[in-house]
Structure 1
Amino acid sequence: APKAIPTANFPAGGTIWNTTSAIGGSPMLVYDNAIRITDSEELISVNNTTDRPRSAIGHTSNGIIVLLAVEGDNSPTYPGINLNNLANMLKDLGCTYAINLDGGGSTSMVVGGTRTVRPGDGGNERGVISAVIIKRK
């Protein structure tokens, strides 16, 4: 059964998070330097055992942000990755915390104006409603 919606009074002892930015994703992959895939705790249904295109973001203990996109569904040679292997890859890259982002045909990465990951939806890009954008100040 779904849990109650968090409020200022729930969970007990909860505090309001004063932030200027946030990102949504699910499930957690790495938490406090340990592999911890939290789909069952988050009461979500996610295909975590099948190799698929995946997107994730994490950070290392010294503050380096890691953006990772794994292509898949392009050919038998590039099937993608499952969430356990994705979590291990992020941990191997030094992430102490990491979260899964939208994947499948939404997985894309552009660096310096060049697409670095081929789309999984038959090679065609598709519109998405959110993006992580990193730019110089």
Structure 2
Amino acid sequence: MFSDALDGGGIDVTTVIGVLSETVGTRNRQIEEILHLNLACLSQFRCLANLRKTSEGAEELVLSVSCRGYTDLDKLTALVEELLSVVSLYQPLVSADADGYASNPLLGAGQTTLSDELDGAMVFHL
């Protein structure tokens, strides 16, 4: 969804990834995995991941990017392409059930969660 930024200085592009599980344990695990993925992606992407309540009271994961200004079409195009590529990283986390994240393409054969992948990883901020 494209919308004017709240400050009126650009365009926000937002997409809903999905609704988190109603099961407390699974939802907590999904949130943990989303936080781990956010940390891993900080240096790579400009997307913002948010959890928000739906009108029914469920929690949904939303990704967004902001394009400051209205005239730089190349920048907006690049941000939208980045948003679309990041969706594929977050989608398996939201669609996961209590049995784990076996469909997540980020995980290796011996891993059952994204935190297994990130344990011992270092994040550098330049």
TM range (shorter): under 0.3
Q: TM-score, normalised by structure 2?
A: 0.23
- For normalisation by structure 1, the TM-score amounts to 0.22
Higher RCO (Cα < 8 Å, 6 or more apart):
2
